[in-house]
Chains A and B, each alone.
Chain A
Amino acid sequence: MSGHSTYNPTSGFGKFMDKRLPLARLVHDSFVSYPVPRNLNAFYTFGAILMIMLVSQIITGVVIAMHYTADAGIAFESVQLLRRDVSYGGLLQNWHAVGASMFFVAVYVHIFRGLYYGSYKEPREVLWILGVIIYLLMMATAFMGYVLPWGQMSYWGAQVITSFFSAIPLVGETIREYLLGGYSVGNATLNRFFSLHYLLPFMIAGIVILHVWTLHVTGQTNPTGVEVKSKQDVLPFTPYATIKDAFFVVLFMMVMCYFVFFLPDYLGHADNYIPADPLKTPAHIVPEWYFLPFYAILRAIDFNIVVPFTEIVLIDSKLGGVLAMFGAIVVLFFVPWLDTSDVRSTNYRPMYKIFFWLFVINSIFLGYLGSRPAEGIWIPLMKASTFWYFFHFLVIMPALGFFEKPLARPASITDAVLAKASNSGASQIEGTAAEPNTKG
């Protein structure tokens, strides 16, 4: 943490504990006196929103697990009994299912915010990498959670996703069998997925603690991308960030509740209201919406990669698709080094700004393509869109740093804030800004 602790216990008990287990000091330093840049915008509240979402998913999940039965024969019905016969069971189940979707909505906003404001750049590389690990764990958790209701999409989604592992040469089949606990998706699969679905959120919580720790070591970025230089640049976390986070958390809750109470099935797939049937393949197997961009990338690779001028297949289309799909996530780990520009905030990068928004549009388009069948016009579009995804990270990001001429950046956060205030004709006087380490 920047600066030394300002925690000052007053009660006897507080002093006693502070010498033995300074938990109150840790909380005070992390969430009360911790200095945050004064110019953070609403996008910076998504960290708090994600914290709330994780806790809400764990609490609802623990209660649902009290009613759920992980047995291929009755799993589907146990979810229905929860919805129909348990007090507030329907609400609980909708909240958990919609909550998973909203968790991803929030994490995507959070990731794009990080990409826009260069939150991955020196000295925040580890912070970013921990974030990508959380994202990976979230995907694993969400996928296994989706299998648990044991509907048609649960079953066939599990079938498709576990088959990725069989694409690995030599050991693929063995890995897949270990994963499934048999030769195909069945009761053993359901049991281990349930166990892991209960385990992974706590691993996420552990990494979130590291994520927040690294954040509090490096300090937050801010929309100017200029590091904190003086005490005037920052405000104490409480009350400034706390109240702002609370406001946006409640706004986010409103969006979530709209879906929970009025459109609980909108984000899911109707086929999951049909019990799993190993003998009946659904017409189109599609994953949850938050995996669709990766599903499009997977299916974009429909060709074998051969040694030039021969028939020898180096990478067949299945392995190629799987590699591309995992590559789309792996590339995120290298973003801190792929971006060669030393300007953090995209606000001051006129060309990158265009490419950033192109990337956002392309990602959403990839998501739409993921929901389309792999036929006709959609295949070349999937290829073009996949190409652009990698082109952005592997070519545009490294190249722009060398060519782009950034705009003039403010000397400090305070300068930027005051310039903005005087431009908008506000009469606020600088100087009343809090002394961050003494307030609260």
Chain B
Amino acid sequence: MKTLFSRLAKHAVVAVLGASVLVGGAFAAEEDGGTPHYPLQKPREQSWSFGGPFGHFDKGQLQRGLKVYTEVCAACHSMNLLSYRNLEDLGYTTDQIKNYAAEYEVTDGPNEDGEMFERPARPTDRFKGPYANDKEAAAANNGALPPDFSLLAKARAPERGFPTFIFDVFTAYAENGPDYIYSLLTGYQEAPEGKEVGEGLSYNPYFIAGTALAMAPPLSDDLVDYDDGTPQTVDQYAKDVSAFMMWAAEPGLPQRKQQGFIVLLFLAVFAGLLYFTKKKVWSDVAH
């Protein structure tokens, strides 16, 4: 009886596995013609100073990223969740931040006469966006709303796929967002033959939600002046602004990793002590 059923059980296992492979084969062909999955190409992985367990921001890079943001991206993209005072993280002095903020006019009020008035921005003000509201932003860009920059580096994460997503746990890979932004900014190309690109759109196989996006290639060589001798290339701009956006999305990233290192160290020592205590307690009992 026992052998009969264990044999049956084994057959059942084989049958189920076999059936799923067959079914898989039959339908794999169908998938080729199915809905395409975006992005067409996976982001190209870069090495970032903030990657890995000891990651930190490269202040020089963030300052260059701010420059690219200010001179290029900020023409269309807001960064609502950040205040000018946050720029301290980039190594700027209070006066430098005051001067930077003062270049923008913000609406304040009402004053004692009950009127709203314009004044230069202060470090405590949020970054002033290019548009008064989302409707105006969309209207100025053919209906495509330029997304806010504050969290973009965390809000864009193309699927990693199996089995990569498992390896990511062990390599602590969390730079999907900046990799994506970098790849997108440097990934504009001519549409392949036979591929129709809608009017006002630019072909980019790295785009997460289609084959083409409403943003025309924003960067070109020598567009922004770097005064620290860093090469003024699209590639470098894209890297710097991606790093800057990662900082914007999580200014506390390096502190988080430092804390984590200390916490894990503490827990490891604690676990060790508990292990030997447990061994001692259980030493007089067979278990």
Contacts and interface: CB of A to CB of B under 8 A. Distances in A.
A235 B271 contact: no
Interface string A374-400: 011101110010001000000000000
B281 A243 contact: yes
A430 interface: yes
B174 A84 contact: no
Given A257-B263, A266-B168, A358-B13, A247 B155 contact: no
Interface stretch (B15-23, B40-48, B62-70, B111-119): B15-23
Contact of B174 (A253, A262, A420): A262
Q: Interface residue tally of chain A, by bracket?
A: 35 or more
A247 B274 contact: yes
A303 interface: no
A430 B81 contact: no
Interface of chain B, helix or strand or loop or mixed? Answer: helix
Most A CB atoms within 10 A — which of B5, B16, B285, B286?
A: B286
B24 interface: yes
Nearest to A251: B271
A262 B267 contact: no
B142 interface: no
Contacts of B157: 265, 270
A261 B20 contact: no
Interface residues of B, number: 61
A417 interface: yes
Contacts of B13: 354, 358
A368 B162 contact: yes
Nearest to B174: A263
A430 B286 CA distance: 7
Interface in A411-440: 417-418, 420-421, 426, 428, 430, 432-434
A299 interface: no
Contact of A381 (B10, B24, B53, B156): B24
Contacts of A125: none
Contacts of B10: 354
A264 interface: yes
B120 interface: no
A34 B251 CA distance: 49
A403 B5 contact: yes
Given A266-B169, A426-B286, A250 B27 contact: no
B9 A355 contact: yes
A90 interface: yes
A264 B5 CA distance: 47
B28 interface: yes
Contact of B284 (A90, A350, A432): A432
A231 interface: no
Interface string A245-260: 0110011011001101
Interface in A79-125: 80, 83-84, 90-91, 94
A84 B251 contact: yes
Given A260-B260, A264-B256, 10 more contacts: A83-B252, A243-B281, A254-B264, A261-B259, A262-B172, A265-B157, A351-B2, A354-B6, A358-B13, A384-B16
Interface of A: 38-39, 77, 80, 83-84, 90-91, 94, 235, 239-240, 243-244, 246-247, 250-251, 253-254, 257-258, 260-266, 270-271, 273-274, 283, 350-351, 354-355, 358, 368, 373, 375-377, 379-381, 384, 388, 403-405, 417-418, 420-421, 426, 428, 430, 432-434
16 contacts: A80-B150, A80-B151, A84-B81, A243-B274, A244-B282, A247-B278, A250-B271, A254-B268, A257-B263, A257-B267, A261-B256, A270-B176, A350-B2, A351-B5, A351-B9, A434-B285
